Structures are given as structure tokens and as C-alpha cells.
Amino acid sequence: MPLNAELHAFYTARQQQIPADIRQIMQLAGQELANSGQVGRALAVGAQAPLFHLPSAVGNPVSLANLVRTGPVVLSFYRGAWYPYCNIALRTLQQHHNEITARGAHLVAVSPQVPDESLSLAEKHQLAFSVLSDVGSDTAKQYGLAFDLPDDLAAVYDKLGFDLQRVNGGQPRTLPLPATYVIDRDGVRPAPAGRWPGRAARRSLPRAPQQERTSPRPRAGPLGRSRPATASRAETSTARSRLRRPPLPQPR
């Protein structure tokens, strides 16, 4: 089943299970987020892609600067294992993992979860790529993706048992917009609009690793121009994105 159809089917089924009062809170929070201008603050074409050092699920430090020296990096921000729509998107990236690495690229996911939670996610879904912990969402903030949950939606998440206080290391209120970037030595490559993570990331990469080796060496500072590949939309998007900007999902 195509990812778009899978997400739509899951969304439709889930809406029937959510009580009307909770569904109203989610819809209002999504609309407020759409109207906040958050998508306009996300890293866009022509911006600088910030470097980062983050721990992997097993505690090993991972540097974006080191990764990009050996090939392009497919960088995907997601909310966490508790959020089913992000899990569906991560499984799609996993399905394209071999095709991505065959082109000399690294696939990396980033969430605000603590490393133990990231390890559980990687094991559960048998992910072959690195899952990094951005506790406090400092990296997501640098990419313009972080936002704070409103009080009523945070209370709903507590009621649903998501326990973000624990899984996010005491930083339960700040989450990233789900988004995927393809970063190479010159910056971040654009991808066709309307594509989902995985296929869009793959098509943004060079067709052969040899092409990447001919590129200039990376600079010591922030990486080149920013061109998002695409973004994974959770449930339905309340704001249609411009080409090369990650779309804004409803925080449900």
C-alpha cells in the first residue's frame, strides 16, 4: 500500500476511536499551529544547515560534519515512538534504506526521545539506520522545526498515556515538525514536491557514489544552502507547503 494511502487509512480509522471532545482539542491545536507561521520558520532554500553532535541509540556520538564528509546525509526529524504517523514514515524510510545507501548516502533519524527510547524504537521496527536523541529539541530549534504543545493538548497526551515527561528526558512540551532533509557537501538538495520520505530522499541523491566524490570538500562552518527534501505529514496537513519547504502537520 502506498504511504499516502496507509496514512489516510490509519487516520480515518483512528478518528472513529477518539472521543469527540479530545478530537476537537486536537483539531484546534492543529489549526493554531498551522496559523502560527511555524512552517515559515523552518529551514528553507538558501539557509545554512546547522551542524550537530547527537548521541545514537547506543550512546555513540554522531557528528553531521563527519557524516557528510563521506557522502550525502538523509536527515529525518520525527516526534517519537509514541506517535504512530511518524512510525509509519520511518518504516517507509527503512524500505528505501538499501537504495539510499547504495548511492553512498547515510540515513539518520532524529527525535527528542532519550537514547533508551530510541533504541527500543530501532529494535521494534528493525531499523538499519541511526536513530539520534535530540533531548530538549535544540537541534530541531536550529532547523526551525521545534514548537511547544498547548496546555490542553499536552493534557490530552498525558491522559492517553504517552508519558512524554519520561521519554523526552524531562522536556515533554517541545516537539519537532516531522521533516526530512537531504544534505550533501554543497548544501541540501531539493526534491520533487508532494513526495513522501524515502522516495523523495532517494530521488534527491546522486545516481552513483562516484558523483559525490567529485564534489568540493565541506566547509568547517555550517553546511551550505538548505533545501529540504520533503516532510512527513502526520495525519492531515492543515497548511499546504511551498516547494522545498516541509509542510505543517496537525499535532495529533
What spatial distance separates the first Cα and last Cα of the chain, rounded to whole Å?
23
Confidence (pLDDT) at 210? 38
Q: How would you classify the pairing of strands 106-111 and 73-77?
A: parallel
The pTM for the full model equals 0.75
Q: Which sequence spans correspond to the domains of the chain?
A: 3-249
CB 95, CB 196: distance < 8 Å:
no
Residue 136 CB coordination number (10 Å): 15
Confidence (pLDDT) at 47? 67
Confidence (pLDDT) at 107? 94
Closest C-alpha among 250, 207, 121, 235 to residue 109 = 121
- How far apart, in whole angstroms, are the C-alpha atoms of residue 105 and residue 98? 10
Question: What is the block-wise mean pLDDT of the chain (252 residues), using blocks of 10 residues?
Answer: 82 89 94 92 78 91 92 92 88 91 93 89 81 95 95 94 94 92 70 44 50 30 39 31 36 46
Closest C-alpha among 61, 49, 14 to residue 160 = 14
What torsion do the CA atoms of 173, 179, 184, 189 make, to the nearest 10 degrees?
Answer: -140
Give the domain 3-249 fold.
Glutaredoxin (3.40.30)
